[in-house]
Amino acid sequence: MNQFDLIVVGAGPAGLTAAIYARRASKTVLVLEAKAWGGQIINTPDIENYPVVAHISGVDFANDLYRQATALGAEVRLEKVVSVQAQGQTKRVQTTKNEYEAGAVILATGSENRKLGVEREQALVGRGVSYCATCDGNFFRKRDVAVVGGGNTALEDALYLADIVNKVYLIHRRDSFRGEESTVARLRGKQNVEFVYNANVTALLGEKRLTGVEVTDKLTGEKRTLAIDGLFVAVGRIPENESFRALIDVDEAGYAVAGENCRTRVPGIFVAGDNRTKEVRQLVTAAADGAVAATEAVKYLNA
């Protein structure tokens, strides 16, 4: 029972889309997921840039995708993969609980939160420091908080928080944003959002709980204290490829090296989604990768 045509590592949008495509090609499919299905999209309050769907929450998107994949016959198991080995036609996948065999494997493990790197950051997680505005925003209702970062996640987090907290400081290390201009424009229209440009968070204040942050202006060196109860860190993500470094090539930033056909240098091992080298990391490109990787995997299995 531990043999499948295809094993997909990761049940985010890329992995579950791959499962749908492979099932529609009549392959047996096991999806292995270490945490919860859906991947990072479950932290997005409102998806507005997926074709046809004008608005959907990340959780609803993930649940619908999971239902679609499992209704087609994909099996999803919550097990952490610790290694993948390619022995010719046979691929062995070791989890913390079981060992599996497959003809092909798609690595769709996505990425994890990058830490800010400020002293006591880890100690204050759950005591004011958070990496997920939609998960923890409610704890800070009517309080003052800050978001740090300048990508789409930081912008969307700030927008979400502005509606439930008293005040949001948006701290960014530059004076222009990496995220979408339309979201920046919406934030500018919010009375309770203050932009703190060219600034780094240089200290976390408070003993048992966060009571504020020290920010340092990069241009003048001037320090300022912001009295806040919550700090939402949204400074990007790190690809989750640690378990596959011995198997496939990764670039200097840790992304799995693969072209638009999602093939790695190892026959039968494919990579899909945010852990792959690529230009645009979006929900729609993750889903597209899943379709491409599964189609390539089916071709490989049928050859």
Binding site for ligand NAP (CB under 6 A): 44, 49, 114, 116-117, 148-154, 156, 173-174, 178, 234-237, 281-283
Contact 190, 159 (CB under 8 A): yes
Nearest-angstrom CA–CA distance, 70 and 183: 35
Query: To the nearest whole angstrom, how small is the minimum distance from the Cβ of residue 218 to ligand NAP?
Result: 10
Query: To the nearest whole angstrom, how small is the minimum distance from the Cβ of residue 86 to ligand NAP?
Result: 29
Nearest-angstrom CA–CA distance, 245 and 236: 21
Q: Which residue is nearest to ligand NAP (CB)?
A: 151
Query: To the nearest whole angstrom, how small is the minimum distance from the Cβ of residue 151 to ligand NAP?
Result: 2
Query: To the nearest whole angstrom, how small is the minimum distance from the Cβ of residue 6 to ligand NAP?
Result: 26
Identity of the residue, 80 or 218, whose beta carbon is nearer to ligand NAP in the bound complex: 218
Identity of the residue, 30 or 233, whose beta carbon is nearer to ligand NAP in the bound complex: 233
Using DSSP's 3-state secondary structure scheme, residue 210 falls into coil
Identity of the residue, 99 or 175, whose beta carbon is nearer to ligand NAP in the bound complex: 175
Q: Which residues are catalytic?
A: 132, 135-136
Q: What is the 3-state composition of the chain as percent helix, strand, coil, each rounded to the nearest 5?
A: 25, 30, 45
Exposure string over 255-288, b if 16+ CB within 10 A, otherwise e: bbebeeebbbebebbbbbbbbbbbeebebebbbb
Using DSSP's 3-state secondary structure scheme, residue 282 falls into coil
